[in-house]
Chains A and B, each alone.
Chain A
């Protein structure tokens, strides 16, 4: 008997201009959009586009299985989880869930800032599907797990974010469903508490609980799951043991090397300084370097404010499985970057001795003013370091730093 049977699940979304404008920030905007839409009713329908977030996804999960769902952004992981937790309905297909289901798409769903920690335990517990008696019975355990006993009668709006997450996760960790659906929630909280939570979930699965875990954190997936499903563009690409699927996923990420990346102005998160990263590129138009070969990059930063600004820019080079190799900062050479008002600044960055082992890497960029982070871009350019010799195995990923060394015998 299967714990979860997923059969030919598809989910279609209609994307349209009309829908984009629906998130109106102001009443005025909203009315003007409504009026625009009234006058352009016909064109509105033409702008509708179908988007299949999931297409004929089928797989079964055995009772007690711990299964990881991985894939790039937009592969359909979260949609699948939303359908499984009955938040949204599939367009076609069917799912059978055998047992009590709890889904953790977020920790602290329904937490109310005005209520005290104690009140929120009851509220959140019941939202997650616990019965009142169950919460009462586990109350002491939940409080002990959260390590915030002394703040139980304080409204959670006065909590630090760490305390908030601890409390929220403690409630969730004490659910006792037969099927647990988890989305990326482990990304929050401090490392030690994360470990505790993974431990708690592992012990949960040893009791025969089925866990379906969506994450970008391959480390956590590897630690928790024995099997994984790789989704790509709404379809199941690979369903196998966790190591195979993860290495397949990385190979996939790796093929997407890129030498230029421009960031959409629409996606800019507004900041006080009005300074934004616009573009990063490799001027040699290649995302391929030999070992020890200097890496040159160009970074474009827009200063949209009427004031000149002084900032610090930094890059971190990480291996595709997200182990940081090293980072460089403009501050390293002792000066701040000067951005003239209302203009674009082109910065040339060069790393003369990148001590990188052969493998695949990506760049994370951040700019800051003093200690304030202004703009941040994760997973920008992906590139590859080749050994130049054929003796290096490329598949096994000897990532990380290389150091100058001597071998004598």
Chain B
């Protein structure tokens, strides 16, 4: 057998071909995502419909509470559309965060028994959240048709904002998945982040409600920029996007993403010892 594959194992392994190796394992990555999708709705009555039902309930509740009961302003946009533009990226972010943070622990048997690039595990769980997100876009389309709401040209920029939302989810998910291996405290922290984040981020209301002088600080929450971007792309209202604030959020997203990968790479070699 003529082989050219040589593996070096050293104490301070600098995987020079880290990304190439992840590429070599891309099939495993798809298999893991495929497994999670297959397993997710096994033995559920509504099956895949859950990826519609879950955001739908949030949208209805928020539209009623914030739009009808609290009568918050919406710049003339139908309130449900305003809520959808916040709910979809938020659900992508929050499910990625909670699923990914548990992913390494729930696959601990694999981590202690076989080698593969560890990044495949949190990444594949996030792919599942992205697929859920794609399915729930159907709600947006249906509601827009119902209100006969015609989007402006900005809707074409939506993919950019989706990408930013995905980057934010990946960054957060990778950070917490790695942290959770060593510090199980995060299994208590994540539910709080998800719960508070829902009210702190402009999911159910427009961020134009935030007073001007606080806007920049408010944008330190990366989801503010992501959600505002979604609203801007969907509604086309200039008022919904606060440019400086958006840049702040974007920079934070990028920092979280790259530092997440850095931290993951730094700690992954010891996962098997701690998990």
Contacts and interface: CB of A to CB of B under 8 A. Distances in A.
Contacts, number: 111
Interface string B236-257: 0000000000000000000000
B28 A127 contact: yes
Interface stretch (A112-120, A340-348, A363-371, A395-403): A112-120
Residue among A90, A105, A110 with most chain B CB within 10 A: A110
A86 B114 CA distance: 8
Contacts of B17: none
B109 A110 contact: yes
Residue among B7, B13, B110 with most chain A CB within 10 A: B7
Q: Give the size category of A's interface with B.
A: 35 or more
Given A82-B272, A115-B38, A208-B1, A98 B6 contact: yes
Given A13-B273, A89-B269, A112-B35, A95 B9 contact: yes
A129 interface: yes
A93 B11 contact: yes
Nearest to A27: B188
B271 to A, nearest CB: 8
A127 B116 contact: yes
A127 B118 CA distance: 11
A167 to B, nearest CB: 16
Interface residues of B, number: 36
Interface in B1-38: 1, 3, 5-11, 13, 27-28, 31-32, 34-35, 38
Given A109-B109, A109-B114, A127-B116, A87 B39 contact: no
B3 A86 contact: no
Given A88-B270, A92-B11, A95-B10, 19 more contacts: A22-B184, A30-B184, A86-B7, A86-B9, A87-B115, A91-B11, A97-B6, A98-B6, A99-B5, A103-B114, A106-B109, A114-B38, A114-B39, A114-B42, A119-B38, A122-B31, A123-B31, A126-B27, A128-B114
Interface of B: 1, 3, 5-11, 13, 27-28, 31-32, 34-35, 38-39, 42-43, 107, 109-116, 184-185, 188, 269-270, 272-273
Interface of A: 13, 22, 24, 27, 30, 34, 82-101, 103, 105-106, 109-110, 112, 114-115, 119, 122-123, 126-129, 131-132, 178, 207-208
